[in-house]
Amino acid sequence: MKKISKILSAIFSPLIVPCYGIAMSLCVTPLFVIPFKTRAMVLGMCAIFLFLLPALSVMGLYRMGIIKDVGLNNRDERTVPYLVTMACYGVCAYYLYRINAPFWLVGFIVGGLLTIFVNLLVNLRWKISGHMATMGGWLGVTFFIALNHLAVINMMWIVIVIVILAGLVGTARLILERHTPMQLLAGTANGFLSIYLCAWLLSMIGNPI
């Protein structure tokens, strides 16, 4: 079970899950009409900011001896990587704004930045789940698209699948003894609320599509 749990934790790493959310947004909303090449370029740029640069920064910090675990399982080692990741999210949000992406899509990234900021503050005193924060954020993206009628397909099964995946990731973190149930719930709530509310607020001041 621990081997399966490690695989799940890797597939749904906090650095990768945001890219899944962006990819889904580009495929199930009216943004689907944009040429595939353009959508692939946008996803690629987002992946650089949300995954590649943060991952490289973690590896760099590890090689310099600033952190001892690339999985950031030690609460005390998360501050610097979180700050770097926040900066990357800020650049990604600016990139989407500059290419005239819908404000709700920009809101997903701003919400992700807020999620990391809250995680950073909480981690100063108490360990909160980064994995479940991003899974909660993915749920926030999915529910926002579904509840605000942005989807061009039936979202029911997508919602069900992501809820199940979130449950599996949470279970995996428990099996690996990385978190307590309360730490998982806190992370999920943080990610969901931060991203949903930021997307909703920004959608109020920008075009819906």
Give me the percent of the chain exceeding a pLDDT of 90.
79
Q: In whole angstroms, what is the distance from residue 54 CA to residue 5 CA? A: 23
Chain-centre distance of CA 53, in angstroms? 15
CA angle 89, 91, 96 (to 5 degrees): 95
Give me the percent of the chain exceeding a pLDDT of 70.
97
Q: In whole angstroms, what is the distance from residue 26 CA to residue 132 CA? A: 23
Q: In whole angstroms, what is the distance from residue 9 CA to residue 101 CA? A: 30
Q: In whole angstroms, what is the distance from residue 161 CA to residue 146 CA? A: 14
pTM here is 0.92
Average pLDDT over the chain, rounded to whole?
92
Question: 136-170 pLDDT, tens per residue?
Answer: 999 999 999 999 999 999 999 999 999 999 999 99
Q: What confidence score (pLDDT) does residue 61 get?
A: 83
Distances from the Cα of 136 to the Cαs of 2, 21, 30, 64, 97, in angstroms? Answer: 22, 11, 23, 32, 24
